[in-house]
Amino acid sequence: MKTIKGPGIFLAQFLGDAAPFNTLEGICKWAAGLGFKGVQIPTWDTRIIDLQKAAESKTYADEIKGIVNAAGLEITELSTHLQGQLVATHPAYNELFDGFAPADKRGNAAARTEWAVNQLKYAAKASQHFGLNAHATFSGALMWHTVYPWPQRPAGLVETGFQELAKRWLPILNEFDANGVDLCYEIHPGEDLHDGASYERFLEATGNHNRACLLYDPSHFVLQCLDYLQYIDIYHEKIKAFHVKDAEFNPTGRSGVYGGYQGWIDRPGRFRSLGDGQVDFKAVFSKLTQYNFSGWAVMEWECCIKHPEDGAREGAPFIQDHIIRVTEKAFDDFAGGGADEALNRKVLGIN
């Protein structure tokens, strides 16, 4: 077994226009001061990284890594959640997701998708330059508008959807493979890869590509009423990244999983700061450790109640307290008497 690395923090929700949150150096010093040991970097935010430059210049990548290291931190992973969303976007969501793309790509779905694919390929090379072995992203969605279908889905629609999704992602997966990096899809409502069954369909469509891996975030499974512990039992070999995010689900006679179009504060299912929700993190960390997960435990903060800086301040010690330093010996070693083949045969009654 290996001890999980951490605590790390995903910077996306904390970046802002005011110091110390508007520069990589400033936000890294802030995170280190709270006790974090690693940062997951959102690659769409040009205030802290130029992704294309990091892919094309090892010198520039070393400079970025140097800024992080100077604060006493490591880079846990790069993230392309927004770009990954644009690899596959149904036209019904064009306007909603246009803001994820550069201004000169908006209103042009083909150009937007081409940009997103190139961004993912840059992320593969940049990850190699940073010495990383995992990358976080979203799958995008072509079928989400049919997730609870009325009228019924036409025959073959799901098969065609996963074939197209795999077609778009295979060149990207191959690029990650060439750079020795696992591509970890965050299983998330709104994505075609939103639970284990949909991930399996995608994996099959890619020919079981060895780089099509998982980012585990139990909060999304709480909101889906999915068994997030059994999920680890089933998919632990594919889990290569870990978001530590809490959530709660409190259904009422008025609203349940779908939320009734309500804002986050009024939904039965909502994300919470670490320790304020319902996720059994002791069991989560135990299972991941049992299955030899060797990546980072990275806090992602999304709470509609608590201030983000308080969530971050509480998050670092919360994760640190849940990381299990693995044992190097069995608890009953003291009672062992040694053994050899002759003794073993005698114990078994074998002459």
> What's 297's domain CATH number?
3.20.20.150
288 to 37, 135, 219, 237, 297: CA distances (angstroms) = 19, 18, 15, 10, 10
Residue (of 236, 227, 223, 312) closest to 275 by Cα position: 312
pTM confidence score: 0.96
Q: How many domains does the chain have?
A: 1
For residue 140, the model assigns a pLDDT of 98
For residue 264, the model assigns a pLDDT of 96
For residue 220, the model assigns a pLDDT of 98
For residue 334, the model assigns a pLDDT of 74
For residue 338, the model assigns a pLDDT of 74
For residue 194, the model assigns a pLDDT of 98
**4, 285 in Cβ contact below 8 A?**
yes
For residue 310, the model assigns a pLDDT of 98
**Domain span holding position 113:** 5-347
Query: pLDDT digit of tens for each residue in the chain (351 aa)?
Result: 899 999 999 999 999 999 999 999 999 999 999 999 999 999 999 999 999 999 999 999 999 999 999 999 999 999 999 999 999 999 999 999 999 999 999 999 999 999 999 999 999 999 999 999 999 999 999 999 999 999 999 999 999 999 999 999 999 999 999 999 999 999 999 999 999 999 999 999 999 999 999 999 999 999 999 999 999 999 999 999 999 999 999 999 999 999 999 999 999 999 999 999 999 999 999 999 999 999 999 999 999 999 999 999 999 999 999 999 998 888 777 777 777 898 889 889 997
Task: Classify residue 133 by burial, with Cβ atoms within 10 Å: 0-12, 13-18, 19+.
Answer: middle
